[in-house]
Amino acid sequence: MTKTPATSRLFEPARLGPVDLPNRLVMAPLTRNRAGADGVPQPIMATYYAQRASAGLIIAEATTPNAVGQTYPDIPAIHDPAQVAGWRRVTDAVRAAGGRMYLQLQHGGRVGHPDNSGLTPVAPSPVPLPETIHTRDGRRPSVVPREMTADDIRSTVADFATAARNAVDAGFEGVEVHAANGHLLHQFLARNTNRRTDAYGGTVANRIRFVTEVVRAVADAIGPERVGVRISPGVTVNGIEEGDTRDIYPALVDALADLGPAYLHLVFADPDDPLYQEIRAAWPGTLIANPNLGWGGPLPADGGREAGERLLAAGADLIAFGRGFMANPDLVERLRIGAPLNQVRDQYAMYTGGETGYTDYPTLADSRPDGEAPGAAGLRDAA
């Protein structure tokens, strides 16, 4: 008997902390700049996420835990009641469509601009982003961030904990602490952005301290079984040069494991990379792996299914896809039956407002006047 596409482990159920997932496909967090200028999620975001509710888990886009942590214009936030109410509309819509959601908490650190947040960005050290930054009026030179004081560190940790409580009040199953992709927590980990000489800088033990304090505070606030952490070892986006990737991540993973969060989420996971194997062996909990499909390039014809299956075979528990879910609201079904994928249509619509390139990607059923998914007849005939 030939193996049909539907037999993959990707479509097996899984459990994440207290949450049952119907399949192992996770929608990766994707910043889409569709909130209001006040950080309040807009109704269109409820439509967008509800369209994608067949994902085993949705991790909603990077969301700001305090005012100074805002990165770009129209990024959602979760530090005031209107923002919580806006997110509640989104989680209600996703739940009504049968889905489950975590919220990613992101403080941008030096990835921010006074034109976006009204405030001077803060960071571990006064080292500016070596690039221009997107503002409402176009790209602007980055500014030198203010070095965080001990009080800033304490209040930022507390802000993450409050934001996590707000997220649970807004109906999320849990939160993902964003320690990846060059944002504030990653800036503490990396040598080139952390030049501190106090207990938060210098040695590996000191540079992982802030991340572990944030995760501990968030876990204390909502329970470790509702907390995930995203890391991106070796990823140089936003001007990051970690310097000692092979030392810092094993130490960080050990420290996080002691706190018992629900999952660790690895960006650009490569099953052949010894660091991946080391992290998998050291991490006792659920591992979400986001395969490297070539950031910005076309989606592979199989939607990353083979890459995902290789990672599952190499010990990952759940597989996250970003652009696949962006362009295919019914990605799970398309992967299950081996149907062709929509490609991301317009790079610019990723980060601009409105429906275009956001809620207007068709499902398989939309593409056929009779409502039958292309490929379904072929599969039925083969069965």
Ligand X SMILES: Cc1cc2nc3c(=O)[nH]c(=O)nc-3n(C[C@H](O)[C@H](O)[C@H](O)COP(=O)(O)O)c2cc1C
Residues 79-138, interacting with ligand X (CB under 6 A)? 104
Q: Does 180 bind ligand X (CB under 6 A)?
A: yes
Q: Which x/- pattern, by CB under 6 A, does the window 281-310 give for ligand X?
A: ---------x--x-x---------------
- Taking CB under 6 A as the criterion, the residue among 24, 52, 113, 178 binding ligand X is 178
In the complex, minimum distance from the CB of residue 23 to ligand X, in angstroms, rounded to a whole number: 16
In the complex, minimum distance from the CB of residue 34 to ligand X, in angstroms, rounded to a whole number: 12
Burial class (CB within 10 angstroms; exposed 0-12, middle 13-18, buried 19+) of 303: buried
In the complex, minimum distance from the CB of residue 350 to ligand X, in angstroms, rounded to a whole number: 4
What are the φ and ψ backbone dihedral angles of 125, each rounded to 5 degrees?
-140, 160
Give the pair of three-digit tokens for residue 128. Answer: 């500016």
Tell me the C-alpha distance between 123 and 224, whole Å.
26
Q: Does 75 bind ligand X (CB under 6 A)?
A: no
In the complex, minimum distance from the CB of residue 35 to ligand X, in angstroms, rounded to a whole number: 12
Nearest CA to 287 out of 230, 248, 237, 222 is that of 230
Task: Count the site residues for ligand X by CB under 6 A.
Answer: 20
Tell me the C-alpha distance between 348 and 364, whole Å.
24
Residues 210-249, interacting with ligand X (CB under 6 A)? 230
Nearest CA to 74 out of 33, 30, 120 is that of 33
- Taking CB under 6 A as the criterion, the residue among 102, 321, 358, 361 binding ligand X is 321
| SS3 readout for 163-221 | HHHHHHHCCCCEEEEECCCCCHHHHHHCCCCCCCCCCCCCCHHHHCHHHHHHHHHHHHH
Residues 329-348, interacting with ligand X (CB under 6 A)? none
Q: Does 322 bind ligand X (CB under 6 A)?
A: yes
Residue whose CB is less far from ligand X, 61 or 74: 61
Residues 265, 288 contacting (CB under 8 angstroms)? yes
Residues of the shown chain interacting with ligand X in the complex, contacts defined by CB under 6 A: 28-31, 61-62, 104, 178, 180-181, 230, 267, 290, 293, 295, 321-324, 350
